[in-house]
Structure 1
Amino acid sequence: MTIGKKIKFVRKLRKMTQQELGVAVGLEEKGAANRIAQYECDYRVPQKDMLIEMAKAMDINPLNFVSEVPGSAEDIMLTFFWLDEDNRGAINLFSLISSNKKEKATTKAVAQYDDNDDYWPDEPPVGMWFNYGLVDEFMREWMFRKQDLKNKEITENEYLEWKLNWPDTCDDCGKFNVNFNKNTNKGDSQC
């Protein structure tokens, strides 16, 4: 997802107009909506300080827009989160169970699945395991959040808020209290 699409996605979630977001980040009222529209359409790319101000104005973690350390555990997770928003069914998480075998593993690594699931492709997908402790911990918590969503223990909005404010919402699998913005959405320019 491009930076412009991310800005538009979060702005609409926050029910802010382009004008409101522009003014909130310090743009002159006269051209605020136009400038935000240019960002959202990827006609212009905001500078790092502007992206940070937008994140603050929309009450999300700035890491959603600006990666401080490319390839870090946080960068990896936020990339996955945005892929998940682009296509909610594309990433499926599951726990692996140790076989407790003492001999070397074979090259035929497999994971079993329940074929009663809603979707399973013709060719089995490839699984991925991280030998990166912090990412593995983050992925485990994400798996629990996705299960909470599927089981209707949290709402779509709570799930999305958890991702947008992560890692501040990372709490060793406890619940996060959501703070929703109550603005209205009107008068946007179109891309």
Structure 2
Amino acid sequence: MKIGEKIKRIRLHRHMKQRELGELVGFTDGAANRIAQYESGFRVPKEDMVKKIAAALQVEECALLEPDTGNLEGIMETLFWLDEDMPDVLRCSLTMPLDKRPAEIGSATVPVIQTNAKTVPFNTQPTMLWSENDLLNCLLNTYAVMQYRYHTGKITHEKYFEWKLQWSFGSTITHSSPLSADIEALLQSEAEE
């Protein structure tokens, strides 16, 4: 998703008019017009303007930038925006890969992203994806919990989207932390199904 579309979605989420955002970032004449140009992709904001727009929209700067999938933060931002663009295409869950036996399961779980496809020819068992990178697993664990909260009605879409906009490495549990009550509850509910 391009930066202009992200600006527009976040601005609308904030119930803000283009003119208001333009004035917050310092435009005086034609404030709405300049923001409209960014949102339509006619213009692309420079780095210093991206910082101002992120501050005005009260989001992490990485939520606006084109993600660099060469790093973990970029991978997560890509997943977040894909989730907004195409809800229910990717779902996170906490489960173990097929090659792990119950006796080997310690205190850690491996998150899995699985498809929700139900139509031919994709009505087979979903494909599992996990990582050997502990930090990525931690990030996916956190994402799985938030996605679970949203899909079970514990939080609204607005709160779920807000969490994605405010997400950063600093807001994520560390991979050395014990499992949270949410993760344990999620694992318990999946075990019962």
- Higher RCO (C-alpha 8 Å, min separation 6): 1
- Please state if 1:14 is matched with 2:14: yes
Aligned to 1:82: 81
- Please state if 1:128 is matched with 2:129: yes
Is the 2:67–2:75 contact (alpha carbons within 8 Å) kept by the matching residues of 1?
Answer: no
Is the 2:67–2:78 contact (alpha carbons within 8 Å) kept by the matching residues of 1?
Answer: no
CA shift for structure 1 position 52: 1.2
CA shift for structure 1 position 135: 1.2
CA shift for structure 1 position 147: 0.8
Alignment of 1:13-52 (within 5 A): 13-28=13-28, 30-52=29-51
Q: How far apart, in 1, do the equivalents of 2:72 and 2:46 lie?
A: 24
User: What TM-score do the two structures reach when normalised by structure 2?
Assistant: 0.74
Alignment of 1:53-68 (within 5 A): 53-66=52-65
Is the 1:11–1:58 contact (alpha carbons within 8 Å) kept by the matching residues of 2?
Answer: yes
Gaps spanning 5+ residues in structure 1: where?
103-110, 176-191
Aligned to 1:150: 151
Q: What amino acid sits opposite 2:118 in the alignment? A: W
User: Greater strand share, 1 or 2?
Assistant: 2
Q: How far apart, in 2, do the equivalents of 1:93 and 1:68 lie?
A: 20
**What number of residue pairs does the alignment pair up?**
162
Gaps spanning 5+ residues in structure 2: where?
105-111, 175-179, 183-193
Is the 1:52–1:66 contact (alpha carbons within 8 Å) kept by the matching residues of 2?
Answer: no
CA RMSD of aligned residues (A): 2.8
- Please state if 1:95 is matched with 2:97: no
CA shift for structure 1 position 66: 3.0
Cα deviation per residue 1:101-140 (whole Å; 9 max; x = unaligned)?
Answer: 89xxxxxxxx9x9xxxx85243234332122211110101
User: What TM-score do the two structures reach when normalised by structure 1?
Assistant: 0.75
